[in-house]
Amino acid sequence: MAGSIPRLAACIALITATAAHAAEYAAHTLARPEGERRYLVLDPGAPDASGKRPVVILLHGHGEAAAAVLGRASFGGYTPRDWAKLAEREHLLLIAPEGVKGSDGKVAWNDCRGDAATNATTDDVGFIGALIDKAVTDFKVDPRSVYVFGFSNGGGMAYRLGIELAPRLAAIGVQSALMPARSRCAAPARPVSVFILHGTGDPIAPYGGGEVGNWLTRGRGSGLGAEATVAAWRQVDGLSDAPATFRFPHRRTDDPTAATRMVWGPDPAGVQVEFLRVDGGGHVNASTEEELPWLLKKILGPMNHDVDTADEAWRFFRTKSR
């Protein structure tokens, strides 16, 4: 009996410590000229509570909820948990701001597409800039380690932030989004590191460029091709046309896709562009463990299972500092 007391005490201490380091998930609001804006925070805690830590600001797609990119809600029956798992493993702070409804009644971002009638019309650049200020003052974020990653319409917004907030960002990441064919923003002018993932079979943001959307999604404007988008950022960053290339080993015989990493820029701590091309891939992230529901796969196209988008983006981000 006496010997069991120390073991019980140790067990209680372990449970308490685990609870103390459990991820905190909370909704916040920020007053802006256009009205109150909402954002979600996933805070896994830090090994050193006194130290500054990096933050990844995740921008959802058109019609998607901010909670979905944090693994707290589903989109079409799919709940992506890759970023949440990464945050807990790497002690990353994640912030997922919420867009504003566009003309189609769906939550959206005000990216640079001048011919996208369904975009929001709010000052989203100002909102994200204020959110970065908030993260630095209230969440102990290192201002040199601020990263933005966007999905689809959120990816278009990440491109805009890479143009207009480049001095405040260590790097941006984009999944399944194209630079606009008809832009109402200035062209990129300041070098910034950019991670881009795009599937060659994307049915929403066509790999070769053109009208964005499908029979379910109208009024989304048009974009340059994926390779033209990569070339635009390489030109701004002054990078050569000879990338380091790596083809990911194929993991599943039932996976019709293949993933290839191309990186321009020799120094991981310097300015780089990475293009993760998914041959045969759709309008979706890559995941070694997760799977799309049947209906969503029919709408968005195949998911690659050779690499994890969040892990690959963080591998690229983590060496970059403003």
3 state SS of 187: coil
Q: How far apart are CA 69 and CA 119, in angstroms?
A: 19
C-beta separation of 316 from 195 below 8 A? yes
- Strand 141-151 vs strand 210-211: parallel, antiparallel, or unpaired? unpaired
Sign (positive or negative) of CA dihedral 112, 115, 116, 119: positive
Residue type, 6: P
C-beta separation of 183 from 114 below 8 A? yes
What is the residue-level pLDDT of the chain in tens, covering all 322 positions?
445 444 444 443 343 333 344 679 999 999 999 999 999 999 988 666 667 899 999 999 999 999 999 999 988 889 999 999 999 999 999 999 999 999 889 999 999 999 998 899 999 999 999 999 999 999 999 999 999 999 999 999 999 999 999 999 999 999 999 999 999 999 999 999 999 999 999 999 999 999 998 766 666 889 999 999 999 999 999 998 899 999 999 999 999 999 999 999 999 999 999 999 999 999 999 999 999 999 999 999 999 999 999 999 999 999 999 8
C-beta separation of 172 from 149 below 8 A? yes
Q: Residue 277, class by beta-carbon neighbours within 10 Å (0-12 exposed, 13-18 middle, 19+ buried)? A: buried
C-beta separation of 193 from 320 below 8 A? yes
